[in-house]
Each structure stands twice: as C-alpha cells, then as structure tokens.
Amino acid sequence: MAGDRWNRERRNRLPPFVPLLIGTIESPAWIAMSHGAKVLYIALKHRYFPHDHNNGRIFLSQRNAVKELRSHHNQIARWFRELQHYGFIVMKQPGCLGVQGRGKAPRWRLTELGYQREPPTQDFLRWDGVKFQPAKSKPRAGKSARGVQENRHADVPENHPSPRESVLQ
C-alpha cells in the first residue's frame, strides 16, 4: 500500500529543470542579449542549488564552459562580459591562483535570485538601453589581425609618389 502512494507521488513530480522566470525572458535586456550569453546564463543558473543558498558562490570556469557549451574561449569571455553589462550577473569574487598553483574560477551572483537574506536586485530591469559592444583587443605580439605584414617604412618619403609622378593630375 505504501509503495502505491510513493509511485503516485513520484509519477506526478517534475524531472529536474532550470527555471527561467517569464519576467526575466521578457525584459528588454534579455531580448537585446546574444544567444550565446543566454545559454551561458542558463549554464550558470544550472549551478544554483536553492537548498544550498549558493548564490554569490556560483562558479563556472571558462575551461569548463568551453567544454559544456562547445564554443571558443574568446566567445565565452565575451558572453561573461555581456551578462555583466546587461545586469544578469555580478562578480562577487574574482578568479585567482589558488593553493598549489591551481586556478580558482570567479564567483558569481545571479541578480534574478536573492543573495543571503537580501531580495533579488534584478539589475537587468534597470538596463540603460546601451547595447553591448565587445572591446576590440589589440593583436598579440604586434601582428596585424589578418596576418598581413605591416610596412614599417610607410612614412619614408621615398615610398610615396610625388604629386608630379601621380597618374591622376
């Protein structure tokens, strides 16, 4: 008899899932965000366990995000910055080099959820309307982005035709 009740309760339970609030996904900030940032947010929210109250200690390293989302590490870093820009996440503790030389991932707080005894801040609802613009980074080692050799002597007068030698006169 007790087994029947247990089976009935188990059958009516939902399988584990990651909830997304309708107010969040209908917000202008969510609509303006890229699809990759949305997927990264879901991956971060998946790491929130309501019974542990770990908001503010949620972590996902870039290396693990690359494996999980199957994207390039530069895109993952861009999506973390985008989530911060739109107000969906706040960094509580930056990444660092831990004990025995092992890296520690940054700790994040989801603004959609309460933190300790404080209510949710929902910073994304106060988004100012400025779209996220990824910063253009300088190429490493002074090389141009497309691998084209730059002419170091472009400013030398001998390299420029004189106005008399120009085809268009």
SS3 159: helix
The pLDDT, as a whole number, for residue 15 is 84
The pLDDT, as a whole number, for residue 16 is 84
Which helix (H) or strand (E) element contains residue 103?
Answer: strand 103-104
User: Domains of the chain: which residue ranges?
Assistant: 18-126
This prediction has a pTM of 0.73
Distance (Å, whole) CA 169 – CA 167:
6
The pLDDT, as a whole number, for residue 2 is 58
Q: How confident is the model at residue 136 (pLDDT cuts 50, 70, 90)?
A: confident
Round the average pLDDT of the chain to a whole number and report it: 84
Read off the pLDDT of each residue in 60-76 and give the average, rounded to a whole number.
Answer: 95
Residue 64 identity (one-letter amino acid):
N
Q: Does domain 18-126 have CATH number 1.10.10?
A: yes
Nearest alpha carbon to residue 104 among 62, 73, 74: 62
Burial 39-56 (b: 16+ CB within 10 A, else e): ebbebbbeebeeeeeebb
Distance (Å, whole) CA 41 – CA 108:
11
